[in-house]
Amino acid sequence: MTINFQKNISLKPYNTLGISVLAKHFVKVDNAEQLPQALNYATLHRLDVLVLGGGSNIVLTQDFQGLVIYLNNQGFESETFGDEVLVTASAGQNWHQFILRCLAQGFYGLENLALIPGNVGAAPIQNIGAYGVEIKDVFHSLTGWHRGKKQWQTLHKAQCEFGYRDSIFKKTLKDQFIITEVSFMLSRKPNTILTYKELADYLQERHITNPTPYQLAESVISIRSKKLPAPHVLPNAGSFFKNPVVDKKLFDQLVEKYPDIVYYTENSNFYKLAAGWLLEKAGWKGREKGLLSMHKKQALVMVNRGGTGAEVLEFAIEIQADIARKFSVKLEIEPRLY
Ligand code: FAD
Ligand code: NAP
């Protein structure tokens, strides 16, 4: 099975911020078995590797001199165990399309995660989460290529060390493990999770007390569509900064100064602050700098109308400095920088 290595390919269509940089080497992998061949090419030519899914959680700050491996495998399998079903999807599948496919087959559990951009393979990397659910809640296992060991491996849930927007793939296995398929244990019986206030309120306003999984997914899609800009219309990378977690001492000072601060208690010593609130309070909502802006409906989302990766970074640094000055809080960039 031969694969087509290309040179000097524009990555603009491959990242949701729409940043225009080149990949010196590029290969599309339609089948997991082609992966070792792609990696051999990188080793032979001494190239760094960047594995690309939907490009919705990256900032490309310069041309990539190595090999971009664009994963495009598309398999979907299921095996039923009573009321449960083990669903396995290939990494290259679009995440939202995967959820719709599960829904159509009566496999439930991923509804709250509808409309998150990107592909299945990247979902475990930051344990994607939204509206009260994280993938770890229904995750079963994944398979991929361990680059150091040069072998295929299957990792189960406990081995993935999932945390808040975090996993082993951001820590010890960073750049070491290429995920080629992910399995979820879903339910054949609806089990709707309505713990997230905005979602519960949305349903209550419409007098829907016991939503079907379809109604739940539709509600999430509707809420997201109203607030978050679709990347194909306004290029963005979702939440640009992580919600910062601060200790009690700083938290107490902030609450005294800003009684309306939005926060969530992690435990008696730590508090998660809504980064969007900090940005809005500091006046960043809707603010523009050149071709960049912080979205007018959600201050946490940076929108790019043609700026370069370097400009994105410069804007982010200016915002971080302002937030540090005003609140003594360090905002961390969520997408990975290249
Ligand atoms: P990419 O951006 O292509 O890659 C991200 C990182 O993972 C890169 O370092 C890449 O090298 C690596 N990678 C990708 N695929 C693989 C693989 N198969 N094996 C190994 N490494 C790989 N995130 C949330 O958690 N919740 C949300 O609600 C949410 N909403 C968003 C809304 C918008 C409008 C946008 C633009 C983004 C949002 N995100 C959200 C962030 C993003 O969608 C997720 O992080 C998503 O999982 C990224 O997938 P991707 O395929 O685009 O990854
Ligand atoms: P939001 O509803 O305005 O809430 C702001 C922040 O408050 C969220 O980040 C959320 O944290 C937190 N929050 C709300 N209710 C909470 C609770 N009961 N307990 C703990 N934390 C709570 O957020 P939004 O921007 O519209 O996003 C809606 C959902 O989609 C959120 O879950 C968000 O994470 C997700 N999202 C993520 C991205 C991304 O790129 N990472 C982009 C868009 C949306 P959590 O982040 O922990 O949920």
Q: What is the pLDDT of residues 100-116, one digit of tens each?
A: 999 999 999 999 999 99
Task: State which amino acid sits at residue 14.
Answer: Y
For residue 194, the CA-to-ligand 2 centroid distance in Å is: 14
Average pLDDT over residues 314-322: 98
Judged against a pLDDT cut of 80, whether residue 1 lies above it is answered with no
Q: Is 200 in the pocket of ligand 2 (CB under 6 A)?
A: no
**C-alpha dihedral (275, 277, 278, 282), degrees to nearest 10:** 140
Active site residues: 165, 239, 334
Mutational test site, ligand 2, from 196, 202, 270, max ligand atoms within 8 Å of CB: 196
Mutational test site, ligand 2, from 115, 222, 264, max ligand atoms within 8 Å of CB: 264
Task: State which amino acid sits at residue 263.
Answer: Y
Judged against a pLDDT cut of 80, whether residue 9 lies above it is answered with yes
Average pLDDT over residues 20-40: 97
Among residues 77, 90, 85, 94, the alpha carbon closest in space to that of 35 is found at 90
Judged against a pLDDT cut of 70, whether residue 51 lies above it is answered with yes
Of the chain, the percentage scoring pLDDT greater than 90 comes to 97
Judged against a pLDDT cut of 90, whether residue 2 lies above it is answered with no
CA dist 62 and 311 (Å) reads 11
Average pLDDT over residues 83-99: 98
Q: Is 227 in the pocket of ligand 2 (CB under 6 A)?
A: yes
137-190: pLDDT as tens digits:
999 999 999 999 999 999 999 999 999 999 999 999 999 999 999 999 999 999
CA distances from 234 to 292, 302, 306 (A): 11, 10, 10
CB 36 within 8 A of CB 20: no
Judged against a pLDDT cut of 90, whether residue 266 lies above it is answered with no
Burial of 128 (0-12, 13-18, 19+ CB in 10 A): buried
Q: Is 335 in the pocket of ligand 1 (CB under 6 A)?
A: no
Burial of 70 (0-12, 13-18, 19+ CB in 10 A): buried
CB 246 within 8 A of CB 266: no
Both tokens assigned to 172: 């010890």
For residue 40, the CA-to-ligand 1 centroid distance in Å is: 25
Contacts of 15 (CB under 8 A, 6+ apart): 55, 56, 58, 60, 237
